[in-house]
Structure 1
Amino acid sequence: MEFGCCNLSLWKEAVSAYQSRIEALNKPNLASLDDYYRNHLPPLLHQRNPNSYITTSELSKLMQWKLTRGKWRPRLLDFVSGLDEALVKSASEKAFRSLPDVSKAITELTVLKGVGPATASAVLAAYAPDIAPFMSDEAMEAALGNSKDYTLKQYLIFVNKLQKKAKELSSEGDIFTPSDVERALWSSAVGAKLLSSNLNPDSKSNTSKNTKRKRKR
């Protein structure tokens, strides 16, 4: 599905297929981590109003989700898991209070070691999916044609495009958030990859090799 697609039913289909594609990737713990990130973490954050914050253990689990759904970078998880609890609480409180100023919110979070704009975007998306989408490679590639630039400047361009697309898709009475747009783009990209690998006769052996490599990490 192209980012410029205006067919609401196709976007809805992509969002609906998200869960099955998470499961189809067959990555250890991904389904449970995704369930935690989308369904359990947001209420936890909002229960702490008026001064919402994230804890170090929650941030660590969020990082596990991000790395499992995307590219595995174990050093980032080590950095985040070792962060001081008070520092994480303070930085995330300031970030959440900064919204809807996404630039300021990201800046408040990236003072934490191991937390770049992409991880910071995942924190904000868990708290305010209607404002800040997660900066996934798949959605970046679809929206901007580039998934290698993890800067704040690039993220702000990405946010603007996904907010506009969400508004466009919500014009017919449905509610589409920027985070829904991100999930649809991710789902569509992963669906295409899964289809391609199923058409490839060597896909099963490749999957087996990849699984063995992952287990050594």
Structure 2
Amino acid sequence: MELDFKCSDIETWKEALSSYESRIESLNKPDLVSLDQFYRVNLPSLLHDRDPNPYLTTSELSQLMKWKLSRGKWRPRLLDFVSSLEDSVVKSASEKAFKSLPDISKAVKELTVLKGVGPATASAVLAAYAPDIAPFMSDEAMEVALGNSKDYTLKQYLLFVTKLQEKSKELKLKGEWDGPSDIERALWSCTVRSTKSQPEKSSSGKKRKR
């Protein structure tokens, strides 16, 4: 199914969201199903078990990066970068980021000091801890919500967050809806469903951390 971002029918959004797990499975990528389980279920639980001072470890960041790259485009150097980070550095940066919420701009800046971590990866970290505030900055959802999936700046992410938060609030007025992260997953599911049979275009241009 196609999903127009302007759509205000909550049942249409729920249908899109309900197809998420089957879309993950349909990609037939090694370990993606287990990585997605780790990212959406296990990692949030681990982080919240560490309240009131939640933090991320290097191992967890590495697994998160594997999930992000498996669900999107594989960029092996990013995985190498984050896997080589010292645990104390990752712990410190993530702890500061989580404490910065709900100031998303500050939280992203705290995380992007880490080598290999750009706004998109930072958004995945924040979404794991606070999915009701910060959605993951996926190419697919960015394309539908903003019409542009190639701008990975903090400014673009904040615009993306605002749009998804507003859409989430709109849907909550119509029925049961969790938050902006479910908007992202619904958009991703529909985009993957409509493009999975098409060959992926090769990317060009400058390499940048995401």
* TM-score of the superposed pair, with normalisation by structure 2: 0.92
Q: What are the equivalent positions in structure 2 for 1:120-159 lying under 5 Å apart?
A: 120-159=122-161
Note if contact 2:10-2:175 (Cα within 8 Å) is conserved in structure 1.
Answer: no
Aligned length: 198
Q: Matched residues in 2 for 1:180 and 1:54: separation? A: 22
Higher helix share: 1
Partner Cα distance (1:150, 1:11) in 2: 25
Q: CA contact under 8 A between 1:163 and 1:177: conserved in structure 2?
A: yes
Distance 2:53 2:97 in 1: 11
CA distance in 2, matches of 1:176, 1:144: 21
The Cα shift of 1:173 comes to 3.1
Larger radius of gyration: 1
Look up the match of 1:75.
77
Q: Determine if contact 1:134/1:179 at 8 Å carries over to the other structure.
A: yes
Asked whether the equivalents of residues 144 and 187 of structure 2 are also in contact (C-alpha less than 8 Å), the reply is yes
Please report how far the alpha carbon of residue 7 of structure 1 lies from its aligned counterpart in structure 2 after TM superposition: 1.2
Cα distance between partner residues in 1 of 2:161 and 2:114: 22
Matched, 1:5 2:7: yes
Cα pair distance change 1:173/1:9, threshold 3 Å: closer
2:31 alignment partner, one of 10, 29, 32: 29
**What's the secondary structure of 1:113's corresponding residue?**
coil
Q: Which runs of 4+ in 1 moved over 3 A?
A: none
Cα-Cα RMSD: 1.2
Aligned to 1:108: 110
- TM-score, L = length of structure 1: 0.89
Query: Percent identical across equivalent pairs?
Result: 71
**Which runs of 5 or more residues in structure 2 are unaligned?**
201-210
Partners of 2:175 and 2:148 lie apart in 1 by 31
Q: Does 1:170 align with 2:172?
A: yes
CA distance in 2, matches of 1:75, 1:138: 22
Q: Which has the higher contact order (CA 8 A, sep 6+)?
A: 2
Partner of 1:192: 194
Displacement of 1:176 after TM fit?
Answer: 3.0
Deviates more, 1:171-180 or 1:39-48: 171-180
Task: Give, as a single letter, the amino acid of the residue that structure 2 aligns with 1:163.
Answer: Q
2:181 corresponds to 1:182: no
Question: Quick check: 1:83–1:113 contact (8 Å CA) kept in 2?
Answer: yes
